[in-house]
Amino acid sequence: MSSKVQKIAYKPVGLLLGIGAGAIAGFVFKEIWKVASGDDDAPNATDEDRGWGEIIAAAALQGAIFAVVKAMVDRGGATGVKKLTGDWPD
């Protein structure tokens, strides 16, 4: 399969993996936030009753979790494609 066709063929796979990664990351963040803060809900940036420190900590934790989960899912997807096709997706 040509490189251009592989790129096009991998796009929907990558998109679905990204959606899945977002869902997994959201779940993981909520569970970690519950344990870390003892609160069932993470603060929203516009929540008047929450301080800057809590808002920034929640955002940093959420961003870090999302980045790690996305990297793991992307790498796993690329590895799976390599095993199936013999070529690494670009």
The pLDDT tens digits of the residues spanning 2-26 come to 667 767 778 888 889 899 999 999 9
User: Nearest-CA neighbor of 10 among 1, 20, 21?
Assistant: 1
pLDDT of residue 73 exceeding 80, the answer is: yes
User: Nearest-CA neighbor of 70 among 32, 19, 31?
Assistant: 19
Task: Judge if pTM exceeds 0.75.
Answer: yes
- Dump pLDDT digits (tens) for 26-59: 999 999 999 998 988 899 999 999 999 999 999 9
Asked whether the beta carbons of 73 and 80 are under 8 A apart, the reply is no
> What integer pLDDT is reported at residue 1 of this predicted model?
59
How far is 90 from 3, CA to CA, in rounded Å? 8
Task: Please provide residue 51's backbone torsions phi and psi, each rounded to the nearest 5 degrees.
Answer: -85, 165
